[in-house]
Amino acid sequence: MKAKLSVVLLFITVLVATGCGQGASNQTKRTADSTPAEAEAAAIYKKQCLACHAADLSGRVGPNLQEVGSKWSEEQLADIIRDGAKGMPAFKKVLQTEEIDSLATWLSNHR
């Protein structure tokens, strides 16, 4: 009788433990463009930056930007986008200040 009770209790414990872990995997994961502002910045990136920096930010002609937020501040990124840098053209005549700032914020979150 004790053996049956132990098996049932073990089974219930395993079910409860498994159920507790399920909640974490079902949570919505935050993506790089989960807010309207982030989606807009991602769209600007796709239109203006993708050709040189690739869709996944891994770089082509331009450098890899996947972790650019850990290397440059938001302000530094805005300056680079606005004024250009080694081999990168300036976008101050192509993008509005708000678009540059939005893109810099979006890129700074890639860490």
Binding-site residue numbers for heme c are 49, 52-53, 88
Binding residues: 49, 52-53, 88
Report how far Cα 63 is from the mean position of its chain's Cα atoms. 17
What are phi and psi for residue 71, nearest 5 degrees? Answer: -105, -35
